[in-house]
Structure 1
Amino acid sequence: MEEKSRVLIIGATGKLGHHLAKFSLRSGHPTFALIRDSSLTNPERAEKLRFLSDAGATLLKGSLEDEESLTEAVKQVDVVICAIPSKQVLDQKLLIRVIKQAGNIKRFIPSEFGADPDKVQIADMDYKFYSRRAEIRRLIEAEGIPYTYICCNLFMSYLLPWLAQPGLKTPPRDKVTIFGDGNAKAVFVKENDVAAFTIATVDDPRTLNKALYLRPSGNVHSMNELVEIWEGKIGKKLERFYASEEELLKKIKGMYSVFVFIKLVTETYGISVYGQVNGGHSGTYLQNSVACCVIWLEEK
């Protein structure tokens, strides 16, 4: 039996990162987690680390700002997966330099896990959210580091628990606001599913130096369809209000995160994900103890 790659997870106490570490362990990969000292004093993070340690993960102290600890960690593994918060995406620059200098990494999966930054169209409204990711891609490619980019679209936990209704914590039961015409389709995924498919790429040569798009057909819905699904569950029709693009743009200026996500669903995702992904060079299936799903691969 071929030996499994050794995997380093950076960001293992985060929501996605913890799932990545768990699936790496379940899949039989020797799994390492780079952790800050502060994680050990945070009760919630410390509990996650205890779980991973008990499951067989090796915990390595270090940070993305500490070249020595990064070098020591990178030299122990074959694959590096980064799952850090969006605002820290440029902090991967030192890691990329260390990976280049170490010369032993067979694959680097940078922190993206969203829309393809090279294709998303949101007209300078994202506060450099995607341009930073594109900058990291160009650096990886310029250094000749083997990579896989995971384009998983939208995590359903960001919008679906409140049906994209700002100010609510649960789905509405009387009226609902839909931005745009509500017909643009988006792909909604769960963190644990994304983690499972990400780990499935680790030793798969078909996904090396490619962007990988996760698009389960059953997870593709428009806002109108999501409202209909919710109406079916509560047995009641909601009063629908349609807000124009101009109204949405005004709200984006006042509240970045929530409304930019809605903008992506109502307009950008319908173009960059559902339309352009079909231009990928090939399609394949990943079957590694994971339910089958169409995976689109695109050469970079």
Structure 2
Amino acid sequence: MEKKSKVLIIGATGRLGFHLAKFSIENFHPTFVLIRDSSFCDPNKQDKIQSLSTAGATLLKGSLEDEKSLFEAVKQVDVVICSIPSKQVLDQKLLIRIIKQAGCIKRFIPSEFGADPDRTQISGMDNNFYSRRSEIRRLIEAEGIPYTYICCNLFMTYLLPCLVQPGLKTPPRDKVTIFGDGNTKGVFVKDVDVAAFTISALDDPHTLNKVLYLRPPGNVYSMNELVETWESKIGKKLEKIYVPGEELLKQIKETPYPDNMELIFIYSIFVKGDHTYFDIESSGGMDGTQLYPHLKYTTISEHLDTLL
């Protein structure tokens, strides 16, 4: 059996990070997780930490702010995966410096796990949400650190549970707002499936210094298709209200930050088409579902069944 890379996961007590650690262990990678001191006392995180330890993960105390613990952790592994929350992406700067200094890392997978920040068409209106990720990419590339960027677009836990209806918690059963013309497609992937694709990619030479895009068939839907699928599941037609792109832009400008971020993402995805306007192959990226056809994943239709 080929030797499996030793993997360090930062952010393992988060939803995605926990799945990444579990899949890493299940795929026989010696798995290390960096845990803050405070997390050991956090009742919301204790069960996850215990579960990972029982499964075989090596627990390391430390944080992205603690240079010494970070260096000691990085020196023990071949691959580093970071899955910290979006608002903290710039906290990876010290980690990048440490990876460069350690000189032993064969692959770094930074915290992205969304739309491709270099291909979004909403610069200037997203409060630097994507430019911060691009800044981290440029830093990694400038340091010559081997990388894989994972672009899974949207997690199924975001916007899909309300059928892309800001302000709602569950899908509508009477009337629905459709943004744009309703034909532009977005991509939703379940976080556990994102973790499975990520772990499959970390030792794969095809994904070295590449962007891995996840657009699984069955997970790429327009708003019209989402509504139609939901209507067929509840056996009822919904009243449709169409909001053109210009009207959505007006709503974004009139809504203060950060309350307008949901509307900005909807504009990016379902008006500008930031998930799907470009071809993966000609962009120089890799298609996760073509590379790993054996991986099973939850489709949008299957997820909508859980919301009935």
- TM-score bracket, shorter-length normalisation: over 0.9
1:278 Cα deviation from its structure 2 partner: 4.6
- C-alpha contact 1:197 1:286 (8 A) present in aligned 2: no
Aligned to 1:286: 291
Aligned to 2:270: 266
Query: What does the per-residue CA deviation read over 1:126-150, in whole Å, with 9 as the maximum and x for residues that have no partner?
Result: 1101101110000000000000011
Q: Give the Cα–Cα distance (whole angstroms) in 2 for the partners of residues 128 and 283 of structure 1.
A: 26
| Alignment TM-score, normalising by the size of structure 1 | 0.93
Three-state SS of the structure 2 residue aligned to 1:277 is coil
| Alignment TM-score, normalising by the size of structure 2 | 0.90
Q: What code does the residue aligned with 1:263 have?
A: Y
> Closer, same or farther in 2 for the Cα pair 1:291/1:274, shift >3 Å?
farther
Three-state SS of the structure 2 residue aligned to 1:108 is strand
Q: Give the Cα–Cα distance (whole angstroms) in 2 for the partners of residues 271 and 61 of structure 1.
A: 38
- C-alpha contact 1:115 1:273 (8 A) present in aligned 2: no
Q: Tell whether 2:252 aligns with 1:275.
A: no
Aligned to 1:8: 8
5 Å matches for 1:46-61?
46-61=46-61
Query: What does the per-residue CA deviation read over 1:41-65, in whole Å, with 9 as the maximum and x for residues that have no partner?
Result: 2111111111101100011111111
Aligned to 2:300: none
- C-alpha contact 1:39 1:45 (8 A) present in aligned 2: yes
Query: What does the per-residue CA deviation read over 1:139-197, in whole Å, with 9 as the maximum and x for residues that have no partner?
Result: 00000000001111111210111111111111000000111111101111110111000
5 Å matches for 1:16-31?
16-31=16-31
Q: Give the Cα–Cα distance (whole angstroms) in 2 for the partners of residues 57 and 119 of structure 1.
A: 36
Q: What code does the residue aligned with 2:53 have?
A: S
Backbone CA RMSD of aligned residues? 1.8
Q: Give the Cα–Cα distance (whole angstroms) in 2 for the partners of residues 83 and 195 of structure 1.
A: 10
Q: What code does the residue aligned with 2:276 have?
A: V
Q: Give the Cα–Cα distance (whole angstroms) in 1 for the partners of residues 39 and 217 of structure 2.
A: 38
How many residues are paired up?
Answer: 292
Three-state SS of the structure 2 residue aligned to 1:81 is strand
Q: Give the Cα–Cα distance (whole angstroms) in 1 for the partners of residues 123 and 91 of structure 2.
A: 24
Q: Tell whether 2:107 aligns with 1:107.
A: yes
Unaligned runs of 5+ in 2: 298-308
1:123 Cα deviation from its structure 2 partner: 3.5
> Closer, same or farther in 2 for the Cα pair 1:171/1:190, shift >3 Å?
same
Q: What code does the residue aligned with 2:132 have?
A: R
Q: Give the Cα–Cα distance (whole angstroms) in 2 for the partners of residues 265 and 232 of structure 1.
A: 24
Aligned to 2:305: none
Q: Give the Cα–Cα distance (whole angstroms) in 1 for the partners of residues 4 and 45 of structure 2.
A: 27
- C-alpha contact 2:12 2:83 (8 A) present in aligned 1: yes
Q: What code does the residue aligned with 1:48 have?
A: K
Q: Give the Cα–Cα distance (whole angstroms) in 2 for the partners of residues 59 and 288 of structure 1.
A: 32
Q: Give the Cα–Cα distance (whole angstroms) in 1 for the partners of residues 293 and 32 of structure 2.
A: 20
Q: What code does the residue aligned with 2:68 have?
A: E
Give % identity.
70
- C-alpha contact 1:30 1:57 (8 A) present in aligned 2: yes
- C-alpha contact 1:121 1:272 (8 A) present in aligned 2: no
Unaligned runs of 5+ in 1: 293-300
Q: Give the Cα–Cα distance (whole angstroms) in 1 for the partners of residues 51 and 107 of structure 2.
A: 26
1:39 Cα deviation from its structure 2 partner: 1.1
Aligned to 1:164: 164
